[in-house]
Amino acid sequence: MVKRWLPWVLKGVLSVGLIWFVFGKVDLASAWAQAKTLDPMMLVATLVLGVIQVLVGAFRWWIVLRALKAAFTATQAFIVYYIGVFFAIVLPGAVGGDAVRMWKARRSGLSLAASVNSVMLERIATVLGLVLLVAATQPLLLARAPNIPGTWVFPLLSVLGVLGILFLSVLDRLPASLHHMRVVRG
């Protein structure tokens, strides 16, 4: 009986303690005064863009899961992705949310390989998307500031990223004689 409720009590006490600690470090009157100066439309736009970002990320991860033939519904992908986003915000470091996403996906029935590979491939797709976005908008920047050094970096990264994705996509189609190589096996 104690085993059932003790973890919940400990989690509750820890949560209340952490919230108390954080609010003890914040000047709430100053924070409220600052919050009242926010433009409500900008706040709404920020919230909408945040929700869209999570939806796009969850959709991208679901596409990767489908490509890996993982039995994961779009709803499951959204829930686990959203939990990962929460932990990415709350935990220190950049990989906490990804680790939680891998763990939750594994606990939801995916194999360890599918859990890890899906998150890694989704991250690769995210970085490639950002590189392509920077490369596509770089001419706008160069029109305003033409003497920026290293203007070749993002176009080169775009080409290398696309070539890397193409390479990854054909690894399973390579001849059997190459399957002994670790890079091909995965």
Does 14 map to a domain?
no
Give me the number of domains the chain comprises: 1
Does 4 map to a domain?
no
Does 168 map to a domain?
yes
Q: What is the pLDDT along the chain (186 residues), one digit of tens a residue?
A: 667 888 888 888 888 888 888 888 888 889 899 989 999 999 999 999 999 999 999 999 999 998 888 888 999 999 999 999 998 888 877 788 899 999 988 888 888 888 898 999 899 889 888 888 888 888 888 888 878 887 888 888 888 888 888 887 777 777 777 777 776 666
Distance CA 157, CA 169 (A): 18
Which residues, including other chains, have CB under 8 Å from residue 126's CB and lie 6 or more apart? 57, 60
Does 134 map to a domain?
yes
- Predicted structure pTM score: 0.70
185: its two tokens? 């096996």
Nearest to 125 by CA among 172, 98, 88, 165: 165
Distance CA 41, CA 11 (A): 36
149: its two tokens? 């050094």
Does 28 map to a domain?
no
- What range does the domain containing 77 cover? 40-185
